[in-house]
Structure 1
Amino acid sequence: MPISRLVDPLLVLLVAAGVGLALSGGDWSFRTRGAKIGRALAWSAWLALWLLSTPWLSSALARRISTVPRDLHAELAGSSPERRVLVILTAGIDADEFGEPAMERQSAAGLERGLAAVRVYREYGFGHVIVSGKDVRGAPTQLASAMADLLVELGVPRKKIILETESRDTRENALHSTRIARGLSADAVVVVTSALHMPRSLRMFERAGLDVLPAPVRFQSLPPEGPERLLPESLSLRRSQRAVHELVGLLEP
């Protein structure tokens, strides 16, 4: 089990609240030390869960971590389109229950990355496109193949697509994609992934010894104005969880 799963905000705060209630022993009078600690812990967990569920805090966390887009025109100047490599990091895929094509079963993040990759491909031109990721629950090649099918459907020539189906996480995405890109003698490598996931991806590619250019997808917008930004919602809690997941990933040795 990855450590990021153990520090999921919802899991941590529910455990903290439970421990706090257990320590209080039903004594809310503050007359015992255990009751004082338990009550403080339970209320702190409640407050943290509320704040992490607000659009205000979740948006601030996501925007603080995310990589903002850069001017790829300037970054790619001087390199030949045929010597450029585009790397797409896959995100996830649902199990096949009703016979839908794998392309349609990709996660929302995966579809966003695929659409952005096609835009970047059309705008700048690339000699090769590496689709990186292994489906750890089903057929190993299913995830990358699903992304490749989407790219082809949207106009990317299949002959330019290289499937990298060994990677189980971001570190392996970087290692295996770097190996392939070096074998292609690439002049420039552009990586497409979610803006929130990009800082960790760039760090892993740097550790793999490859200088890459970021093409981040889905930069988080500002929260709504007014009191609504302080009202909890499940979507915001999910966004905070993703931000914490990426922060923990940045601490990986």
Structure 2
Amino acid sequence: MLYIVKWIDSWLLPLGGIVLALGFLAAYQRRRRSAGVKWLAAVVLVLYALSIVPVSNWLLRPLEQEYEQPAAQALDGDVIIMLGGGVLAGVPDVDGEGQLSGAAANRFLTALRLHRALGLPLLLSGGKVLPDDASESAVARRMLLSLGAAESMIYTDEESRNTAENAAFSKAICEANGWRRPIVVTSAFHMERAAYLFRREGLDITPYPCDYRAGTGISLYSFVPQASVLADSCLAIKEYVGLAAARAGLQ
């Protein structure tokens, strides 16, 4: 019964309700033989498709399966580079202000666990994307220190604003410190583009994907439109566009 209630509730929440409303509107316009009904129906279909798990997984899986996550004990690197993935400025945290977003927080946890397992220095790459943002690497550095990481093992790049700059500025820091085998930690959906851009800079990286989005389970609930699933579909589309732009030399 709880499962059925949850399924019905999802259709009444904003995204499910919008899809239903647009669907009813398309049906109404069809009865009135409106000229724009085909376009409206197409919009409803695309919005619905991008908001359900099977389609989102279909978009994400080729990106996430490009690189496998290696076993930690098999890693041969001399520095861990964590790429930024979003930060929320001006909000309270345990020992300061600003917090990492969902993707960045997952990358942070993975990088910290690898640091503790391997004893390698951490390079936090990510600055302010917009003037009012907080510095991603500064927030991550504060969190690392509060969790017991040694200050001498933390390095930051607070200038990069995108993946291409992550790669370029990380290369300069690696060269300055004599690091030649960086382990790059980022979300699995982002790893293919990140690896391409880092290798374009001449870095011999080991990709370490994390923050996976495409699961394997499918249920009736998977076909209910969900805002989080739509967001994941948009992330995947953004990555395909970004990867094409990088390969075309536009990044």
Give TM-score scaled by structure 1 length: 0.77
Residue of structure 2 in register with 1:5 after alignment: none
Where does structure 1 lack aligned partners over 5 or more consecutive residues?
A: 1-9
- Equivalent-residue separation in structure 2 for 1:51 and 1:223 (angstroms): 18
1:65 aligns with 2:58: no
Q: Give the aligned residue type for 2:145.
A: V
Question: What SS is found at the alignment partner of 2:89?
Answer: coil
Structure 1 counterpart of 2:68, one-letter code: V
1:192 pairs with 2:185: yes
CA 1:75–1:234 in structure 2 vs 1: closer, same or farther (change >3 Å)?
same
- Indicate the residue corresponding to 2:9 in structure 1: none
Report the CA distance shift for 1:155/1:139 in structure 2 as closer, same or farther (over 3 A).
Answer: farther
Which of 42, 46, 49 is matched with 1:48 structurally? Answer: 46
Contact 1:141 1:165 in 2 (8 A): no
Within 1, Cα distance between the matches of 2:48 and 2:216?
16
Residues 90 and 98, structure 2, Cα contact 8 Å, conserved in 1: no
Contact 1:53 1:233 in 2 (8 A): yes
User: Residue 125 of structure 1: CA displacement?
Assistant: 2.2
Mapping of residues 9-158 of structure 1, within 5 Å:
28-29=32-33, 35=35, 38-66=36-64, 67-76=67-76, 84-96=78-90, 101=95, 105-126=99-120, 128-138=121-131, 142-158=135-151
Answer yes or no: is the 8 Å Cα contact 2:89–2:134 preserved in 1: no
Q: Tell me: CA distance 1:192–1:110, structure 2 relative to 1, closer, same or farther (3 Å).
A: same
When residues 53 and 209 of structure 1 are mapped into structure 2, their CA distance, relative to the original with a 3 A threshold, is: same
The alpha-carbon deviation at position 136 of structure 1 amounts to 3.0
SS at match of 2:189: coil
Q: Aligned partner of 2:188: which letter? A: A
The percentage of counterpart residues that share the same residue type is: 28
Query: Which residue identity does 2:88 align to in structure 1?
Result: D
Cα gap change, 1:73 to 1:114, in 2 (>3 Å): same
Query: In 1, distance between residues paired with 2:95 and 2:131?
Result: 14
Q: 1:49 to 1:100 in 2, by over 3 A?
A: same
| Equivalent residues of 2:91, 2:98 under 8 A apart | no
- The answer to whether the 8 A contact 2:82-2:107 is kept is yes
- Normalised by the length of structure 2, the TM-score is 0.77
1:6-36 deviations in whole A, cap 9, x for unaligned? Answer: xxxx9xxx9xx9xxx9xxx999537xxxx2x
Aligned residue number for residue 10 of structure 2: none
User: Which residue number in structure 2 is paired with residue 4 of structure 1?
Assistant: none
Helix, strand or coil for the counterpart of 2:88?
Answer: coil
**Cα shift at 1:103:** 6.1
Q: CA RMSD in A?
A: 2.8
Q: How many Å separate the matches in 1 of 2:81 and 2:92?
A: 30
Query: Conserved in 1, the CA contact under 8 Å of 2:53 and 2:222?
Result: yes
The match for 1:181 is 174
Q: Distance in 2 between matches of 1:26 and 1:221?
A: 36
Structure 2, unaligned stretches of length 5 or more? 1-14
Alpha-carbon distance in structure 1 between the residues aligned to 2:134 and 2:156:
8
1:182: Cα distance to partner? 1.6
